[in-house]
Amino acid sequence: MSIALKKIKNKLGPYFYKLAEKSQDVFWIRSPCFQRLLYVSPAYEKIWGRDCEALYNNPADWINAVVPEDRDHLRQQLMEFQANTAVGDVHIANYRIIDKAGNIHWIRDIALPIHEGTSCIGYAGIAQNITEAKPVANEINDISQFFKFFVEKISGVFWVKDSEGKKQIYISPAYEEVWGRTCESLYKDPSSWFDAVLAEDAENGKVDLNCFEKNCDYQKQTFQYRFRIRRPDGSIRWIKDTHFPIKDKEKLIGFAGIAEDVTEDALLEKELREAKENAEKANRAKSDFLAMMSHELRTPLNAILGMTQILKTSDLTDEQFDQIEVISQSGQNLLSLLNDLLDFAKLEVGKLSFSKENINLRDLVERLINDMLPQAHEKSLELRLNYAYNIPPIVIGDEKRIRQILVNLISNAIKFTGNGHVQITVTCLQRNYKEATLCFTIEDTGIGIEKSKLDTIFNRFQQVNSVYQRKHDGVGLGLSIVKELVEKMGGSTAVTSEVGVGSQFSCIIPFQLQHTSVDAQSNPVEIAIPTRESCSENTDADFHNMDILIVEDNLINQKISKILLEQVGCKVDIADCAKAAFQKVGNHYDVIFMDIGLPDMDGFEAVEHIRRREGPERHTPIVAMTAHVFAHDRQRCFDVGMDEVIAKPIMRDDLISILRRWSGRGSSGLPIVRGRRVLS
């Protein structure tokens, strides 16, 4: 036994020395400088598998057995241990060693400085092999090491505070990068992170220094703040801080959080938001432009179509009639193109709305086919209708849109068919008490479409032939509008075709049903091709007992409406501004046609004024005449008390339908059913 050991034996006393010698754990004692080993118990040889003698000779030898991954961390702990030698300091280090046989052992080393008086005279410790005793604890320790490694590497600032949020338990090095301040400064003054927060964000509560006290609802698992900081170099950063309370068996023991620098995301978001706002602004400008253009285009079109209608009813030679027919047809084409473009624009900005009205479907389809007979007749085509018997007589939907879909498909069928027929078939695919799914099929014996083109035929601006080899009119919008309208109604479209044989377009559309509807027994209908005279509806219309007031400032429009109305027997008064209208409305009128753009005030205001003057007893039907055909314009008409809206250019047949609805139900106190009808 060496002299040093003898001294130790004396110091420990014989009992403790024996205990140390027999213990399964490794007892060790080192000099105050830690470099010299004064004592190590024999258990060292068992656990480490190395000689005690070798360790006395080289007191750092024990570290050679520590697995390389744990060495750096252990050395760091040793340094901290030697730097903190206050009385009562206890240091625990967990690490793994590998013995000569290659087995890994988990060691828990508990060390403390030994004092005599106030001076440290050395260190003593016990190294225990805890491989079997505490595997879970080891794992946790292992995991926390990994986490520590991880949080020190990530760009987010990872932080831990005590339960009052006052003591900074941990801050990851990223704090220095993001905040531009040292971690040490934060440890010293844990509230100093808040000094960087922009006053504006602190004031409006985006983040609060007292957030920990306020976060008293700890049931809420996470807290999130988004705020800006100003770094010492003056730059501004956006921070997203997410933190959560840490509990140990229901008791709050602290908070952990991660503060991320989201400046780039915030800037991107801002850019995107601005881009979206600009796009919305541009879209609004586009729809305003379209509304304005539609007005500008419809006004002269109104004049052309109105005058041709009037001319057609005068004494004309056949040749003159044909010439006027050309003008009329071209005007109609222009109008439908204008309507398509407007629909296209409205679909683009999601502004197309659908009304829900009762539709007498069979009536609608028959009238529509009747309207299209002249086109078919001109090409000697047969236009057939096959209307299934089990279709509910009244369905709920948007009559105008259904008509638009069918007109588009039938006119295409007629356009692309040289001879043969066009057949319209309406069948009921499915029906219950609430709704019915109907299938409209338009089949022709025309030129057909190549198989390779079928997939894209419903796309915008798609035409089978290129613009240079055009044989037929059109811009390739019709089918895309059909498809979008059908889909917006919850339906679907399909096409089959064979070149030289013909095409078949079908739309499946669901309709709501009236609960009370009773089926009328109807059989498949065949429609005969009528004569030219019968194409124009209401040749016998006569409304000689109706007094009409037209409020319109445009001279041409005044003239057209007046002639059209007088032709069917109405007595017509004209007011060219709102003021003139107010003077006249004291008289009895069966219907007032009101332009929206008057010189002295707009038509909405004028109608409000008229309704106020009428009081609850009277209600003269007022029909808005407008080229503004956007849904919100229509709604505004109804909101101010108008009964119908008719879009310019005004068609004779539309006027007649309106007069029919209101004849005999003027302002004289007869019950008024306030309409919500829109004609175009």
The nearer residue to ligand ADP, 50 or 460, going by C-beta atoms, is 460
- Closest contact distance (angstroms) between CB of 462 and ligand ADP is 6
| Closer residue to ligand ADP in complex, CB, 338/570 | 338
Q: Is 420 in the site for ligand ADP (CB under 6 A)?
A: no
**Contact between 413 and ligand ADP (CB under 6 A)?**
yes
Report the amino acid identity of residue 168: Q
Residue 59, interface with ligand ADP (CB under 6 A)?
A: no
The answer to whether 394 contacts ligand ADP (rule: CB under 6 A) is no
- Tell me the window of 76-84, 109-117, 393-401, 458-466 that interacts with ligand ADP (CB under 6 A): 458-466
Q: Is residue 74 within the footprint of ligand ADP (CB under 6 A)?
A: no
410 binds ligand ADP (CB under 6 A): no
DSSP output for 462-523? --SS-GGG--S---S-HHHHHHHHHHHTT-EEEEEEETTTEEEEEEEEEEEE-TT--PPP--
Burial 220-244 (b: 16+ CB within 10 A, else e): eeebebebbbeeeeeeebbbbbebb
Q: Which long-range contacts (CB under 8 A, 24 or more apart) does 497-502 make?
A: 497/448, 497/449, 497/451, 497/454, 498/448, 499/447, 499/448, 499/449, 499/450, 500/447, 500/448, 501/445, 501/448, 502/417, 502/420, 502/443, 502/444, 502/445, 502/446, 502/448
Q: What is the DSSP string of 23-59?
A: -SSEEEEE-TTS-SEEEE-THHHHHH-S-HHHHHHST
* Residue with Cβ nearer ligand ADP (50 or 415): 415
CA distance 568 to 564: 7
306 binds ligand ADP per the rule CB under 6 A: no
391 near ligand ADP, judged by CB under 6 A: no
Q: Which stretch binds ligand ADP (CB under 6 A): 47-55, 106-114, 242-250, 412-420?
A: 412-420
Distance CA 43, CA 551 (A): 113
Helix (H) / strand (E) containing 424: strand 421-431
Which 476-505 positions form the footprint of ligand ADP (CB under 6 A)? Answer: 476-480, 503
User: Considering only residues 242, 328, 360, 463, which one is a binding residue for ligand ADP as defined by CB under 6 A?
Assistant: 463
Task: Choose one: 283-291, 350-358, 457-465, 648-656; the region binding ligand ADP (CB under 6 A).
Answer: 457-465
C-beta neighbour count of 142 within 10 angstroms: 15
Nearer to ligand ADP, 273 or 379 (CB): 379
Tell me how far, at minimum, the Cβ of 267 lies from ligand ADP, in Å: 43
In angstroms, what is the minimal distance from the CB of 335 to ligand ADP? 14
Q: Closest approach of Cβ 286 to ligand ADP, in Å?
A: 22
Least Å from the CB of residue 280 to ligand ADP: 28
Nearer to ligand ADP by C-beta: 405 or 598? 405
For residue 446, the minimal CB distance to ligand ADP (Å) is 5
| In the complex, least distance from residue 306 CB atom to ligand ADP, rounded to whole angstroms | 26
372 touches ligand ADP by CB under 6 A: no
Q: Which of 28, 62, 158, 416 binds ligand ADP (CB under 6 A)?
A: 416
Q: How far is CA 618 from CA 152, 611, 615, 641, in A?
A: 82, 8, 6, 12
Number of residues that bind ligand ADP (CB under 6 A): 19
Please pick, from the candidates 272, 326, 475, 494, the single residue that binds ligand ADP as defined by CB under 6 A.
Answer: 475
Look-up: residue for tokens 């009101």? 594
Distance CA 223, CA 264 (A): 22
The least CB distance from residue 535 to ligand ADP, in Å, is: 23
CB atoms within 10 A of CB 195: 14
CA-CA distance, 120 to 301, in Å (whole number)?
A: 107
Name which position in 309, 404, 412, 561 contacts ligand ADP (CB under 6 A): 412
Q: Is 344 in the site for ligand ADP (CB under 6 A)?
A: no
Find the binder of ligand ADP among 207, 307, 457, 629 (CB under 6 A): 457
Measure the CA–CA gap between 444 and 467, rounded to whole angstroms. 24
In the complex, minimum distance from the CB of residue 442 to ligand ADP, in angstroms, rounded to a whole number: 7
The phi and psi torsions of 399 (rounded to 5 degrees) equal: -60, -40
Shortest Cβ contact with ligand ADP: which residue?
474
Binders of ligand ADP among residues 266 to 295 (CB under 6 A) are none
Q: CB neighbours of 407 closer than 8 A, spacing ≥ 6?
A: 368, 371, 372
Range 107-136, binding ligand ADP (CB under 6 A): none
Q: Which is nearer to ligand ADP, 123 or 458 (CB)?
A: 458
For position 474 contacting ligand ADP by CB under 6 A, the verdict is: yes
List 345, 359, 464, 570, residue binding ligand ADP (CB under 6 A): 464
State whether the Cα torsion 647-650-656-662 is positive or negative.
positive
**Listed ranges 424-432, 442-450, 526-534, 540-548: which one lies at the site for ligand ADP (CB under 6 A):** 442-450
Give CA 580 to chain center in angstroms: 49
Nearest C-alpha neighbor of 227 from the set 273, 178, 171, 159: 178
Least gap, CB of 385 to ligand ADP (angstroms): 17
| Beta-strand pair 236-248/223-230 | antiparallel
Closest CB 412 distance from ligand ADP, rounded Å: 4
CA-to-CA dists, residue 299 to 90, 305, 554, 560, 645, angstroms? 95, 10, 9, 12, 16
Q: Which helix (H) or strand (E) holds 267?
A: helix 263-312
Q: Where do contacts with ligand ADP occur on this chain (CB under 6 A)?
A: 412-413, 416, 444, 446-447, 449, 457, 462-464, 474-480, 503
